[in-house]
Amino acid sequence: MKIRIKDIALKANVSTGTVDRVLHSRGDVAENTRKHVMKIVEEMGYEPNLIARTLASKKKFHMAVLIPDPEGNLYWKSPLAGMEKAHSEIAGFNAEINFYPFIIDDEISFHGEFEKLFCQKPDGIIFSPVFLDTSLKIIQICEENRIPYIFIDANIEGQNNLSYFGQNASRSGYLAARLMDYAVQTDGEILIINPSHEKEVTHHYTKREGGFISYFNGLLNTNKQLKIKSVNANTNSDSEINSVLDKCFKQNRSIKGIFITNSKIYKIARYLSNREINSVVLIGYDLLNENLSFLNNKTIDFLIGQKPEEQGYKSVLALFHYLLSGKKPEKTNFSPIDIITKDNFEFYKI
Amino acid sequence: MKIRIKDIALKANVSTGTVDRVLHSRGDVAENTRKHVMKIVEEMGYEPNLIARTLASKKKFHMAVLIPDPEGNLYWKSPLAGMEKAHSEIAGFNAEINFYPFIIDDEISFHGEFEKLFCQKPDGIIFSPVFLDTSLKIIQICEENRIPYIFIDANIEGQNNLSYFGQNASRSGYLAARLMDYAVQTDGEILIINPSHEKEVTHHYTKREGGFISYFNGLLNTNKQLKIKSVNANTNSDSEINSVLDKCFKQNRSIKGIFITNSKIYKIARYLSNREINSVVLIGYDLLNENLSFLNNKTIDFLIGQKPEEQGYKSVLALFHYLLSGKKPEKTNFSPIDIITKDNFEFYKI
DNA sequence: ATATTTACCGTGTGCGCACACGGTATTTAA
DNA sequence: TTAAATACCGTGTGCGCACACGGTAAATAT
């Protein structure tokens, strides 16, 4: 039998209105009465009925989301999809989400979209703090206006954010290296390809590379000789990728594995298919459709998945629950590091 | 602006009570009126407000769960935990779950617990149809009493179950074989250990073994020579495991990998540690704590995880949503096949 | 003819909560 | 002293729906 406001009012010898005022700190209650009511509330372990609250309240929960436009970066389709799924689940609870997509790599757009967002005075914000300076300004504004904010995908340490949903990038690089070590069975060279065009301040790429390298540095007694080499390339440009790879394969014919720190592994796979180079182990990130077809024909050996939909999904639910009932989520939420192969990818598609 | 019953009543020139009777097929409505109301309901795209419905309805949704007692098999702690999590989320919606744990491998207990369960006349049932005969009887009773039922973990094909939540066992065995192929880098023998004591009719173990073997059968041009050998052992008995392994290692000193089709891989790991046998690749199932510590010190190379909590979680939510709003879930729901290593296991623990 | 059943339908109440409104004491200002 | 401000609190209404109850008119029984 759940305790209702009416039960508390009865026991405290006050009206339900007074209990309500106490519970919502709406003032107009004598200090003594307040204490008395609060005591009984705690004694009886009152928990508000969220169903009734939602029905009675005309309040809309307005959440705003500031993330890169998926048009410019397909990866962001996934968090967006997760957010929309979460929204459909809580739409009945007067939850409203507005999306403010900014142009990736464009700090001006980032700032501009935030200004639009802020005009709507949302109750809470989810954003990806990719540009440090502007993000710190946003954080300050949120603090001043007491708007809770959640980081997604990228994180800025030491802030008063409600939560962070993202990935453990260095760990995933480390894991990728272990997989590479399993998959490459003879001596040779491992190539790491880093995207060179990214302008974001807080990026995962160097962390992934760092984790990858640290695995091989930590190896002591090995029965294989593996040399690790890093190169940079603008992975948006197919021609640049091709010329970089051409150069690498010209220099060194014993390349046994390639690890790329973003989702463009399908471009490497395409290159190798075209050049008819076989038996190179390929490891990269994210379940893009382009990647999956190469995974399926075994050109790509492993993909690392970071459950981007789940990040979007959980961040929305966390913010909503906080707004609805004040429940604070964990401050740091790493998504699992999924190892995807030809044999299990279909279970991870959304 | 959501359409309410009141809006429909207004447009149809009837009272809300009549609309309600139509919507709930409660009779006492003239056929003409019924058609007229239904037409307007469809026209306006009425969707009931589940919040208000829950608040107004005194109906309790009583769900019953018939699964093996986790005391007898630690694996089942996970689905149970998932179910309890789901329950805590929907408790506010008048959802009630009763658990009927039966003694694993004991069909009498299975049957007895079902009888207890059935006395309570639940609105829906989730159960693991491990014993075929009794399960078919249960299914028949459910059909007769129009009680929806969901299979979890095990499946019986061709039934009218609302849904099935479980794993793709043969696929996971196939995947395990691929991992074994990656991890074993020289010629040698691969040992498959099958539990021999299981009495359940619908078991995953042979399917896992089948998938594992089919991978190696499908290999054409290999640079390694790997021999596959299957043995049976009662994996509940440590002494039997030890003696079986002793025999295998005596016969053949070139065992390079061991795959066990259940969660008792930690017993193999313990054996190898005690005998100080190194560099044998170990692959098994499930994130038991015993397994994780051996994974962490790299005695175990890979664990296959099948998200058992998620199976429990989703099965409860699916049944509930069906009871609440008649929404049918997918009939078959395979959980992802997670590849777990030392580097990512912490993200999969619950 | 009146009584009774049947078919059909409208009204009213309450689920637990939020919040507007207005009321009564008490204090302060005029 | 009377008017006005303030502090504090209770009552009433409605959110959208489910369902009990009762009512009217027509059909049937007596």
Residue type, A128: S
Give start-end residues of each CATH 3.40.50.2300 domain in chain B: 61-167+308-336, 169-305
> CATH code for B61-167+308-336?
3.40.50.2300
Task: Walk along chain B (350 residues) and give the pLDDT tens digit of each residue.
Answer: 789 999 999 999 999 999 999 999 988 888 999 999 999 999 999 999 999 999 998 888 999 999 999 988 878 999 999 999 999 989 888 899 999 999 988 899 999 999 999 998 999 999 999 899 999 999 999 999 999 999 999 899 999 999 999 999 999 999 999 999 999 988 999 999 998 766 554 478 888 999 999 999 988 777 788 999 999 898 888 999 999 999 999 887 789 999 999 889 999 999 999 999 988 999 999 998 999 999 999 999 999 999 999 999 999 999 999 998 888 999 999 999 999 999 999 998 86
Q: Residues in chain A whose beta carbon is closer than 8 A to a beta carbon of chain B?
A: 49-52, 54-55, 92-93, 168, 171-172, 174-175, 178-179, 182-183, 185, 223-224, 334-339, 341-344, 347-348
Name the residue with tokens 């409600």. Answer: A162
- Assign domain B5-47 to its CATH superfamily: lambda repressor-like DNA-binding domains (1.10.260.40)
Please give the full DSSP string across B134-201, using - where no structure is assigned: HHHHHHHHHHHTT--EEEEES--TT---SEEEE--HHHHHHHHHHHHHHH--SSEEEEEEEES----S
Do A51 and B51 lie within an 8 Å CB cutoff? yes
pLDDT in tens, B200-237: 544 788 889 999 999 999 887 777 889 999 998 988 88
Q: What is the DSSP letter of B336?
A: P
The top-level CATH class assigned to A169-305 is: alpha beta
Residues of chain A with CATH 1.10.260.40: 5-47
A238: nearest Cα among A267, A258, A210, A211:
A267
SS (H, E, C) B95-140: EEEEECCECCCCHHHHHHHHHHHHHCCCCEEEECCCCHHHHHHHHH
Taking an 8 Å cut-off on Cβ atoms, the answer to whether A93 and B51 are in contact is yes
Sort out which chain B residues have CB atoms less than 8 A from A172's CB and list them.
Answer: 344
CB A128 within 8 A of CB A67: yes
Give tens-digit pLDDT for A224-270: 889 999 998 988 889 999 999 999 998 877 899 999 998 899 999 99
Q: How far apart are CA A256 and CA A319, in angstroms?
A: 45
**pLDDT tens figures, B283-316:** 999 998 999 999 999 999 999 999 999 999 999 9
- pLDDT tens digits, residue range B59-76? 889 999 999 999 888 789
pLDDT-derived band at A279, boundaries 50, 70, 90: confident
Q: Token pair of A283, please?
A: 């490891």
Contact across the interface for A55 and B52, Cβ inside 8 Å: yes
3-class SS of residue A262: coil
pLDDT band of A145, cuts 50, 70, 90? very high
User: Strand pairing of B281-285 and B255-260?
Assistant: parallel
d(CA B246, CA A262) in angstroms, rounded, equals 47
Give the pLDDT score at B110. 96
pLDDT confidence of residue A201? 46
Distances A324 to A16, A22, A53, B94 between C-alpha atoms, Å? 21, 18, 9, 19
Q: Three-class SS of residue A196?
A: coil
Whole-angstrom CA distances from B69 to A27, A122, A335, B79, B169 are: 52, 48, 31, 11, 22
- Percent helix, strand and coil across chain A, each to the nearest 5: 45, 20, 35
Structure tokens at B346: 């912490």
Q: Stated in angstroms, how far is A217 CA from C2 C1'?
A: 105
pLDDT tens per residue, range A196-215: 766 554 478 888 999 999 99
Identify residue B220 by its one-letter amino acid code.
L
Contact B149, B139 (CB under 8 A): yes
Distance between CA B123 and CA B125 in Å, rounded? 7
B192 forms beta bridges with B230, B259
